[in-house]
């Protein structure tokens, strides 16, 4: 009987040992699943972080470009206000000033100096006149207000400039108003 008891005891010990090993394996399997789950969560979090970082970089670039563009054309409104004054000066100095003895001629001479100073100041801020007379019509730079048919000239050539056009840096801020040959 003792022998039977010992066999049963050994069997029980063996079963207990197997049961404990099985429990350990189950725990390990659960731990592996948890590790896989955690790894997935970590990789998702890393991906979200990288996307957020890329979005921030793109936002900064976009804002920098907007600020640079805004600064580049910051003087546009001021220039647009000054251009009619410049036009009036041009009209005034077209008067005849051959005789510099009279007061009108002296006044006209002063206006020419003011005009020259004004155009020089605009040039410092990259305001340039659009050359138009005798050039081919380009709707990007010109606004056709009249047409005329002159057979001795090529078609689409500008015959007359009614109002000068201007560019601020590389942007047309006022197209030239012109008469075009049909």
State pLDDT tens for residues 11-38: 777 777 777 777 666 555 567 788 888 8
**Structural domain boundaries, residue 164:** 129-182
What integer pLDDT is reported at residue 23 of this predicted model?
66
| Same-domain pairing of 61 and 88 | no
Q: Is the pLDDT of residue 62 over 90?
A: yes
78 and 44 in one domain? no
User: CATH code at 141?
Assistant: 2.30.22.10
Cβ–Cβ < 8 Å for 108, 92: yes
Are residue 39 and residue 12 in the same domain, yes or no? yes
Same domain assignment for residues 11 and 51: yes
Shared domain for 180 and 170, answered yes or no, is: yes
Residue with more model confidence, 153 or 49: 49
Q: For the segment 89-127, what is each residue's pLDDT rounded down to a tens digit? A: 888 887 765 555 667 777 788 888 888 899 999 999 899
Tally of domains within the chain: 3
In this structure, the answer to whether residues 9 and 22 fall within a common structural domain is yes
Task: Please report the pLDDT score of residue 8 as a whole number.
Answer: 73
Average pLDDT over residues 142-154: 90
Same domain, 57 and 110: no
Whether 115 and 154 map to the same domain: the answer is no
Q: Tell me the whole-structure pTM to 2 decimals.
A: 0.61
- Cα(first)–Cα(last) distance of the chain, in Å? 128
Looking at residues 120-139, what average pLDDT do you find? 92
- My answer on whether 53 and 85 are in the same domain is no
Q: pLDDT class for 51, splitting at 50, 70, 90? A: very high
Does one domain contain both 148 and 100? no
**134 and 167 together in one domain:** yes
pLDDT at 61 over 90: yes
More confident residue, 130 or 72: 130
For the cut 70, the answer to whether the pLDDT of residue 177 exceeds it is yes
């Amino acid at each position: 009987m003792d022998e039977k008891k010992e066999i049963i005891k050994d069997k029980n010990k063996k079963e207990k040992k197997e049961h404990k090993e099985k429990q350990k394996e189950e725990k390990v399997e659960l731990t592996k699943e948890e590790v896989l789950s955690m790894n997935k969560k970590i990789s998702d979090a890393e991906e979200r972080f990288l996307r957020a970082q890329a979005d921030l970089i793109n936002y900064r670039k976009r804002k920098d470009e907007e600020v640079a563009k805004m600064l580049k054309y910051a003087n546009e409104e001021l220039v647009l206000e000054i251009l009619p004054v410049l036009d009036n000066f041009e009209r005034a100095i077209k008067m005849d000033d051959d005789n510099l003895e009279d007061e009108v001629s002296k006044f006209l001479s002063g206006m020419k100096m003011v005009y020259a100073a004004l155009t020089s100041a605009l040039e410092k801020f990259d305001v340039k006149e659009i050359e138009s007379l005798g050039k081919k019509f380009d709707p990007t730079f010109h606004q056709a207000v009249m047409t005329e048919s002159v057979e001795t000239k090529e078609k689409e050539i500008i015959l007359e400039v009614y109002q000068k056009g201007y560019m601020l840096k590389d942007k047309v801020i006022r197209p030239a108003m012109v008469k075009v040959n049909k």
